[in-house]
Amino acid sequence: MTQARTGLIIKEQSGFYWVAADDNQTYMCQLRGRLKEEAKTSDIAAIGDRATISLRREEGTDVLMGTIEQLAPRKSALSRALRTTGKRGAGQAEREHVLIANADRALFVFAAAQPAPDLKMLDRLLVAGEKSAIGALLIILNKIDLGAPPALEAILADYERLGYRVLRTSALQGDGIDELRSLLSDGISVFTGPSGVGKTSLLNCLQPGLGRQVKAVGGASQEGVHTTRDSALVPVQGGYLADTPGIRSIAPWDIEPDELDAYFVDIARFVLDCKFSNCTHIDEPACAVRQAVKAGKIARHRYKHYLELREELRDTYIIYNR
């Protein structure tokens, strides 16, 4: 007997997906064969996706097994590029790794100190966030009990002027926890950032044992030269929360070098004023972006990170498109 349900993918592990269905039950599922083929080049199914599943009771048992038949269109997808080997890449050098689908907000967590915030990593995450179409991108500065130097506060003020909300927290002293808790009261949220910034401590402040619960959802799995962790959404404060492993680097997915300026929101404001429509903002005359940097309208560190990331994308684009 076959039954149909719709629901939310809340966990992914080694090719299996757990779907919280509309009958308040959770079913372990696998992809239908045609979807498995699509999954070789991209994460066709990820936590946060809405899925239609068929259920079949195993003969002679009470166990219902699920098959994902269809996936609803995504409103957003936070992704990064991963190098691939073997069949998983379908012959391509890179594939899309979807960290989370349909998130309502992304919270990029850094520490005021120990370790000092990595602004280059922050700008990469913001580029990935702008590409993802997630509605709200927030910066969390944790460990403020250690003190944020004036120079850092000035930099954070620049981000706030760009429209990015900055929330200052201390897991040790409880600063900002109520505000953070209110942000997670509905929808799907994702925490991400480098290791050592206190994400687990923050989660435990939000809900006792939450950090341990989030970490328990996945072990380690090996994919080529990349180590990834199984993913899950955890119920919290009336919504769902996804935590990602500490990210050492992030390569934006599906952004060509000439498109990058559109995802730096401060640079994008001046692009149309450049003399040349294909301006790279590197050394062209009458470049409005470079003029804005000189005038202090674009932060120099942001422009520097744009140039570095553009060069990386250019090198990757040349290698993979020979």
Give the tens place of pLDDT for each residue, 182-195.
999 899 999 888 88
* Residue 67 domain flag: yes
* Residue 174 domain flag: yes
* Residue 123 domain flag: yes
For residue 245, is pLDDT > 70?
Answer: no
Task: Print the domain residue range for 297.
Answer: 257-320
End of a domain among 50, 73, 96? 73
- Specify whether 216 is located in the same domain as 105: yes
For residue 98, is pLDDT > 70?
Answer: yes
* Residue 111 domain flag: yes
* Residue 252 domain flag: no
- Specify whether 197 is located in the same domain as 271: no
* Residue 250 domain flag: no
In this prediction, residues 247-257 reach a mean pLDDT of 80
For residue 89, is pLDDT > 70?
Answer: no
- Specify whether 109 is located in the same domain as 228: yes
In this prediction, residues 98-118 reach a mean pLDDT of 94
In this prediction, residues 279-286 reach a mean pLDDT of 96
- Specify whether 133 is located in the same domain as 167: yes
Percentage of the chain beyond pLDDT 90 is 61
- Specify whether 191 is located in the same domain as 292: no
End of a domain among 42, 73, 104? 73
- Specify whether 316 is located in the same domain as 282: yes
* Residue 108 domain flag: yes
- Specify whether 226 is located in the same domain as 290: no
In this prediction, residues 247-269 reach a mean pLDDT of 89
**Looking at this protein, which amino acid is placed at residue 11?**
K
For residue 119, is pLDDT > 90?
Answer: yes
For residue 144, is pLDDT > 70?
Answer: yes
CATH number at residue 82: 3.40.50.300
Write phi, then psi, for 317 (nearest 5 degrees): -65, -40
* Residue 248 domain flag: no
- Specify whether 171 is located in the same domain as 269: no
pLDDT band at 83, cuts 50/70/90?
confident
Q: What is the mean pLDDT of the chain?
A: 86
- Specify whether 311 is located in the same domain as 273: yes
Most confident of 40-54, 211-225, 275-289: 275-289
Q: What is the pLDDT, as a whole number, of residue 215? A: 56
Q: What is the pLDDT, as a whole number, of residue 222? A: 30
pLDDT band at 225, cuts 50/70/90?
very low
Q: Domain total for the chain?
A: 3
For residue 214, is pLDDT > 80?
Answer: no
- Specify whether 305 is located in the same domain as 201: no
